[in-house]
Amino acid sequence: MSNSISKPLAGKVAVVTGATRGGGRGIAVMLGEAGATVYVTGRSVRGNPATEGRGETIEETAEMVSARGGVGIAVRTDHTVEEDVKALFDRIRREQDGRLDILVNDIWGGDPLTQWETPFWEHSLSNGLLMQRRAVHSHLITSHYGVTMMVARRQGLIIEVTDGTDYRYRGNLYYSLAKVSTIHLAEAMAADLKPHGVTALALTPGFLRSEAVLDHFGVAESNWREAVAKDVHFAQSETPYYIGRAVVALASDPNIAAKSGKALMSGDLAEEYGFTDIDGTRPNWNAYYKRTFEHQ
């Protein structure tokens, strides 16, 4: 009994795409802590990082998963390449006897492609289209191949990681299109999957203290509060493990089907399920944003 409480996802098989760093890494590690076997995918491998200026790798993430009590398996996968994705799920089908319980689509790769404060007709078209390829098409390709394993067993959870929970404009056409499209992917997949016992939903973190964000502010996780002097809103930020705990809570919920098609936020889920960030806090960016920006 105690093991089922401490390792609620023992025996479960998960795929976390884009798990090299940031929210993807946090999700993979927390799934490992909950006892899951986690296939960690991305393009950055030891000796061959795919993102300029970033040294994190999928092997590091997989080792962190295993260190927390799960089983981390790193598989280099370019999710914009159909053959890579098909090979990934063929491998999982062989190794896990056709089992796939959780699929987290967290591929992004759009930050270096986004030109903020630039109207769409002056924005690089090639970068804008590449953003859709990386952040939307990759999710479509991955779900196309991954969901068949879930449908066959009439169970499973697909989580589309995005930014925001509604369809409002996010300040850059290409960025906005990618993030809104991901929310609708979850809504549309949920409708198609409803008769098959599979749940699909969208999930967004709040102000995420990713490795890149910490570097931007010139701080580390140990002294991140020093950056609040530069941006007061940073006081409401959260670690990548917070959204990871949200994923664990969702995957452990026997009534998860009731949330199918919805777009959810880490802070709201923390209040609903009672979990905290790893530092013991319970930030709620959604509530803070509404209080600060929408009621002025």
Catalytic residues: 175
Torsion (CA) 26, 85, 133, 59 in degrees, nearest 10: 30
Q: How many CB atoms lie within 10 A of CB 265?
A: 22
φ, ψ dihedrals at 202, nearest 5° = -105, 145
Q: How many CB atoms lie within 10 A of CB 82?
A: 14
Query: Is the CB of residue 204 less than 8 Å from the CB of residue 269?
Result: no
Helix (H) or strand (E) holding 24: helix 22-33
CA contacts within 13 A on the Cβ side of 21: 21
Distance of CA 8 to the CA centre of its chain: 20
d(CA 221, CA 224): 5
Using alpha carbons, select from 40, 60, 61, 47 the residue that is nearest to residue 107: 40
φ, ψ dihedrals at 230, nearest 5° = -85, -35
Using alpha carbons, select from 273, 267, 270 the residue that is nearest to residue 290: 267
Distance of CA 152 to the CA centre of its chain: 24
Using alpha carbons, select from 65, 67, 15 the residue that is nearest to residue 41: 15
